[in-house]
Amino acid sequence: MIVTPSNIGVSSRPTRVAIAGATGYAGQELLKRLVRHPAASLTVAMSSRSGSPSRSLPALAKIWDDPIVPLDIDRLVAEADVVFLALPEAVSAEVAPRLLEHGRRVVDLSGAFRLRDDAARHRWYPATGELPEGTVYGLAEHHRASMRAARLISCPGCYSTAAIIALWPLGTAGLLEGAAIVDAKSGVSGAGKIPSDRTHFSENHGSVAAYGIFAHRHGPEIEQELGHGVTFVPHLVPLDRGILETIYGTLRPGTTEAQVSAAMHQAYAEAPFVRLTGGALPEIKHVVHTNFCDVGWKVDEESGRIVMVSCLDNLVKGAAGQAVQNFNLAVGLDEREGLL
């Protein structure tokens, strides 16, 4: 029987939180933010496997001096009200439902629960069965009102966050025609901590490579949220962190730059972590180590073309920071808590 999660709200007692998957890049970013969060009490940080030995992380010395212990679902249930999962999607697909059964709320950073369509989810995330009741797609800028009642918050992918934030206002306002092209570039940390030939220093340094064309799981996620097709092409660039997406689209005939600007500012007037730069196009160095997504654009009114540039830090707004932002909303806090 599924147990309804406890009604966690704002109180004098910090919310007990735990992290599973604290040794990865996103997990370590998450730990750094939660351990300093004024309304959260981090009780335990775990690795991604139950059989792994306890370990310490030099980068976290004097930030979190307790060991990173093996994955233990019973201990997560006993010691936390909200559990953050920074696990591989197949592990999250197994762990999250078990935590929900015990009334714990889950903030999941994997892709396991992002796709609502059964066929798409079974194709791209075959380890995931049905979506648990109370699952919310965790893009705060568009689903803020749903967070408070969510049992499971499925945080968006890093590429997806940048693309959806840029394109959604124009699609909603009916200003776009046809499919947009999302030319995306990411630093190496977006590939995760497990090394591969593609992420080897000697292969990545001094090079830029396209990959996953028509075969990247963030493509259907972007299309799900926008409600129309996109051509999504990711690239790996020799940076440790950061995403820059150059997005090309065609505007409805007669659309002006002023209409584009009005749609963007109306959509994000109450969004503290979206910075609209207009014609001053953003750069990766403007957003690294922050929870901001910066979006700029250029409009050619004569041809009806628009070029947008969307930037964020893939480990913060694209992962750990976004997870903390969603946590804040879920427990009734200001979404900026612990992030500014």
- CA–CA dist 199, 133 (Å, integer): 37
Is residue 44 within 8 Å of residue 76, measured between CB atoms? yes
Cβ-based neighbours of 104, under 8 Å, separated by 6 or more: 5, 76, 77, 80, 81, 82, 83
* Cα diameter, the chain: 63
User: Cα–Cα distances in Å, from 206 out to 187, 289, 312?
Assistant: 13, 23, 22
- CA–CA dist 322, 137 (Å, integer): 12
Annotated catalytic residue within 155, 158, 293, 311: 158
* Cβ atoms < 10 Å from Cβ of 332: 15
- CA–CA dist 103, 237 (Å, integer): 42
293 is catalytic: no
- CA–CA dist 240, 226 (Å, integer): 29
C-alpha of 3 from chain center: 27
Strand partners, 209: 236
User: Cα–Cα distances in Å, from 304 out to 93, 149, 200, 225, 230?
Assistant: 44, 41, 42, 24, 18
Four-residue CA torsion sign, 4, 338, 35, 91: positive
Residue indicated by tokens 């004569």: 302
Is residue 173 within 8 Å of residue 6, measured between CB atoms? no
Residue 178: exposed, middle, or buried by beta-carbon count in 10 A (0-12, 13-18, 19+)? exposed
C-alpha of 296 from chain center: 20
Q: Which residues are catalytic?
A: 158
